[in-house]
Every structure is written in structure tokens, then in C-alpha cells.
Amino acid sequence: MELGFICKGGSTISKDYCSELCGDGIKVGKEQCDDGNQVGGDGCSEYCKIENNYKCSGGNSTHKDTCSI
């Protein structure tokens, strides 16, 4: 499993299903932002989408995003 992802399922017959782990502070995959929390209203929503009128930057696999108006 890679950092920033969560995997479910998997067996000797089928592969794991992996998706981004929103709210962990690691921006990966299709996440627009990840500021390390799961609360909306601060620029990065609980779904890791940039909220209206905000700009987010600095997020990557080692640093969380910082969002401001």
C-alpha cells in the first residue's frame, strides 16, 4: 500500500481496491487538496475538494495543503 491511499478487499483471487485517504494531510491521486483534517469550511472540504473562493497550495506526499481566500 502506498502512502495516502487506503485499500480494501483483496484475496488470492482478486486485487485490493485502493483509493485516496482524504484528511490524512497527504495529497495524492485525484485529491484537489488535503489539509490534514476532515472538516469543511476552511478552504479544503471533507471530500478533499477546494472550496469556493479559496486557493490551496503546498500539498504533496510529504506536506499538507495550506488554503486561504
Q: How would you write 5-68 as a 3-class SS string?
A: EEEEECCCCCCEEEEECCCCCCCCCCCCCCCCCCCCCCCECCCCCECCCCEEECCCCCCCCEEE
Q: What predicted TM-score, i.e. pTM, was given to this entire model?
A: 0.75
User: pLDDT digits over 25-45, tens only?
Assistant: 999 889 999 999 878 899 999
**What pLDDT is attached to residue 39?**
82
Instruction: Find the mean pLDDT for residues 16-22.
Output: 81
Q: In the chain, where are the structural domains located?
A: 22-69
**What pLDDT is attached to residue 32?**
95
